Amino acid sequence: MCNVLNGDAVAPEKGHEVIRLTPYHCQYNAIELIWTRVKRRVAKYNNTFKIVDIESLTHEALEVVTKEHWEKCVRHAERLQEFR
C-alpha cells in the first residue's frame, strides 16, 4: 500500500485529520508562510555563504518559530480559502 494511503489510515487513529491541499496553490498552505519566514531570517544573517553556516542559521530560524506564528499563518491561509 502507498505511504500516502497509510497516512490516511493512521492519522485518525492518532487523533489527526488529513487535509488535502490543492496542488500549485502555495498561498493556501501555512507551511509556505513559515518557510518564507525562515528563509528571510537565514538571508538576513547569512554573511559567509558557507553551507555549514546556512545549515546552522536554518536550524536557528526554525527554533524561533512559535506556536503563535503557526496559528497566525493557519488563520491567514484559512481566510484566503474562504474568499475563494
Number of CB atoms found within 10 A of residue 56's CB: 14
CB 49 within 8 A of CB 84: no
* Residues 11-40, mean pLDDT to the nearest whole number: 90
Which pTM does this prediction carry?
0.73
Number of CB atoms found within 10 A of residue 78's CB: 11
d(C-alpha 79, C-alpha 22), whole Å: 15
Position 70, amino acid? W
CB 36 within 8 A of CB 25: no
Model confidence pLDDT, tens digit, residues 34-58: 999 999 999 999 999 999 999 999 9
pLDDT band at 1 (very low <50, low <70, confident <90, very high): very low
